[in-house]
Amino acid sequence: MSLIHITRFSTTLQEHLKASVILPDVIPNKPLPTIWLLHGLGENGTCWERFTSIENLAMQYQVAVIMPNVNRSFYMDEANGLPYWTYLTEEFMPEIRHMFPLSTSREQNFVVGNSMGGFGALKLAFSHPEWFSAVAALSPAVDLRDIIPIMSDISRVFGPKLPESYLEDLALTAPKEQLQSMQWYRSIGDQDFMRVANDNFTSFMNSLDINETYSVTPGDHDWFFWDDEIKKVFAWLPLQANN
């Protein structure tokens, strides 16, 4: 596989941002299935390549993996900062598709993330269910109140009043039939401080009548858990492994 590190100037943010891309060494004569892999709070796209077996998995399944960097934005247009959501959805994703032979087919696009990136993956899926056929949220921040103790700058992103049901409100505005046509995977470690919120979120997801797999297994909010989980995600996605 080829691991490519990109630094590009964003006209939306008016700054240079990095991204990581994994591609097959030999590009087929057709667009590549694509995983949009989102990072957590205090991290960046390189953490997936540093702490997991993502490159080996991409090689096994012959997919493109795109790992953007959105700093501490929670994949939001920040209340008192920069418009990272606009950057991601209106600039970065279209531009990366111009740079690399990525599929634009809904059936071949998947969004995955951990922690803050799990929030981002769910947000993308609820906001644009027409873009993806599957979403996997690993230890996602589904209740923003869980973030308060570990994010001193949370008001910069969300403003003075923290949304109480941000993801739920997004989901309820999405076309229900599109949500139901997607595959959903969500997991949490049994020792994770976000476990209770994720357990409770399951009732909401069930109310949407969507096809979600919710997995609770031994583990904490760390890369040991996410390295195990990303292997499960690749096996779960509608991809063909090259054994």
243 pLDDT above the threshold of 80: no
Q: How far apart, in Å, are the Cα atoms of 229 and each of 39, 179, 188?
A: 14, 23, 9
pLDDT of residue 242: 78
- What the chain holds in terms of domains, given with CATH numbers, is 2-236 (3.40.50.1820)
- Nearest to residue 96, comparing CAs of 3, 2, 208, 20? 20
Per-residue pLDDT tens digits for 37-48: 999 999 888 899
Contacts for 221 with CB less than 8 Å, ≥ 6 apart: 115, 139, 189, 192, 193, 194
| SS3 assignment, position 233 | helix
Read off the pLDDT band of 29 (50, 70, 90).
confident
Each as own residue / partner, the long-range contacts of residues 159-162 (CB below 8 Å, 24 or more positions apart, any chain) are: 159/79, 159/80
Q: What residue type is 12 in one-letter code?
A: T
User: For residues 218 and 195, is the Cβ–Cβ distance under 8 A?
Assistant: no
Q: Give me 2's structure tokens.
A: 């080829």
Give me the mean pLDDT over the 75-102 stretch: 97
Provide the 10 A C-beta neighbour count for residue 113: 28
Which pTM was predicted?
0.96
